[in-house]
Amino acid sequence: LAVTDRHLYVAGSNPDAPQNALVKMRTSPWDLDNWIELPQPAWAMAVANNVVYVGTESALYAYNADTLSLLWIEQIRVSDIAIADGFLFVVNSSGVYAFRTEG
């Protein structure tokens, strides 16, 4: 689950989408905006600076928050993610990694 002031991003199933879907919902009114199929089940999600980050068993994916188009992939196992002070922190069994989320 990742939330902005206008959208809610959830990973999982949707009646009209595959099981591994990234679903974008409007928060006012509450309705489906868009969805895409994810390559793997999502283990963690976060959103910042118009980018939705999705962590999976084998990779971290970055999607444009407006269009859900893929921006980049980092081959890293993701257990959890968090965003603070302009950084995306990724945690896995090997340690903690930081990715800059701003300029």
Lowest mean pLDDT among 13-27, 48-62, 87-101: 13-27
What is the model's pLDDT at position 13?
61
Catalogue all structural domains in the chain, each as residue range(s) with its CATH number: 2-100 (2.40.128.630)
DSSP the chain: -EE-SSEEEEEEEETTEEEEEEEEEEETTEEEEEEEE-SS--SEEEEETTEEEEE-SS-EEEEETTT--EEEEE----SEEEEETTEEEEEETTEEEEEE---
For 36-68, what is each residue's pLDDT tens digit? 999 999 999 999 999 999 999 999 999 999 999
